Structure 1
Amino acid sequence: MARLTRAESQARTREQLIETAKQLFLRDGYSVTSLEKVADEAGYSKGAVYSNFRSKDELCLTVLDRIHDEQVALIAEALVGADGVEGLLAAFQTWAERSIGDEAWTSLEVEFATNARRDPHVRAELAARDKAIRDTIAGLLTGYAERFGITLPMSADDAATALLSLGIGLGVQRAIDPTIPVNVLPDVIRIFAGVH
């Protein structure tokens, strides 16, 4: 077996640290998960963590990016082959029932965002990520509206903000009470689309 190059070794270490941090942040929470614990669990020194991430906040942002990327992939997979507006909404609802209100993910998002209020840099990073998500949603809404001949009742940007806000709020509520149904979100999209 060939030895890893230095770059391959660094990439492997970084990947192991991200995956370990993800597991710990989701299991134990952001505040109680120290960089030392991440390093120990991953089998590295604390120096290995600091050679890859400037801070625990940067590591958590990377973990949240990973979770968001995984969720986008799951949504895209759910929507592939969905036919028509109702097919898309049914596929979206299937994803939403599995993902919206995931206790570990929701708790991590809320805990990290709450901690970020004290750090303007982290707040700016979260705001940039939030805007990217809203822009993606707005782009999807615009594309689907054009595809299906739907006139949105407000700008795509405002609709994206409303839907993301509803999704986040629904996620928090479902993390507390998983019996709350997710159909409210696809139902609001139906209202926006004018298909009741």
Structure 2
Amino acid sequence: MVYSKPMVKPQLSRKRLNTRAALIEATAALVAERGLRAVSLDEIAARAGVTKGAIYSNFRTKAELLWEAVDRRRLHLDSPITPGDARTTSRDIARALMAQLPQADREADFYTELRAYIRTDPELRAQQAAQQKAQFDRMARRLAEGFGDNLSLPPRTMALAIQALLLGFTEQWERTPSEVTEEVIATAFEALSRGATKPRAA
């Protein structure tokens, strides 16, 4: 579960895009049918109607292909930031997160399987770590651009805190959905925002 915009990919030829799309679709279908552990590259190639070599022409590893295939099922929340307006930003984040929570509920079993699988697959763990680090870098840049010297802590620390709150509320909503309301989320993010910014000079 990752809260970010999907990473932008470089331009590829139409043929390569079609092959990649077929491989991703085949992988996603097999994962949905049989689970992550049961999917083999031979089955993926057969389902996509390509050779196994086509997989390695488009993806460096099986982990990279799996990550692309499960990407559409992970949560993507682009945290809105309104510089200088903690209340508006917090309300926007809370509203966006609440809109995502039903998907989190529908995909709860899949997320559990994905987390367990990642723990046993070093390549997939590295893929996740690289994606998340890139996400924190992007968010930190946006925070630095939006708040500048008004932040009282490093932008990347703030990015990690935002991610932790998003994940925490998502996990808690699965346990006590009545407690995790838009108001509660907005209040927590407003407190984080106010605590992380320097008071304005009188």
CA RMSD of aligned residues (A): 3.9
TM-score by length of 1: 0.65
- Structure 1: stretches of 5+ with no match in the other structure: 1-6
1:50-89 → structure 2 map (5 Å cutoff)? 51-53=57-59, 55-65=61-71, 71=76, 75=78, 79=80, 84-89=85-90
**1:186 partner amino acid:** A
Aligned counterpart, 2:155 = 156
Structure 2: which amino acid aligns with 1:90? R
**Corresponding residue number in structure 2 for 1:127:** 129
Instruction: Give TM-score scaled by structure 2 length.
Output: 0.63
Q: Percent identity between the aligned chains?
A: 25
Q: Which moved more, 1:30-39 or 1:85-94?
A: 30-39
The worse-fitting range, judged by mean Cα deviation, of 160-169 and 49-58 is 49-58
Residue 3 of structure 1 is matched in structure 2 by none
Distance in 2 of aligned mates of 1:12 and 1:80: 35
Does structure 1 conserve the Cα–Cα contact (< 8 Å) formed by 2:41 and 2:62?
yes
Unaligned runs of 5+ in 2: 1-12, 196-202
| Residue 29 to residue 17, structure 1, CA distance change in 2 (3 Å) | same
Q: How far apart in 2 are the matches of 1:27 and 1:174?
A: 27
Kindly indicate which of the two structures has a greater share of residues assigned to helix: 1
* Partner residue in 2 for 1:4: none
1:7-46 correspondence to structure 2 within 5 Å: 7-22=13-28, 25=31, 29-35=35-41, 38-39=44-45, 42=48
CA distance 1:175–1:23, change in 2 (3 Å): farther
For the Cα contact (< 8 Å) 2:23–2:48, is it kept in 1?
A: yes
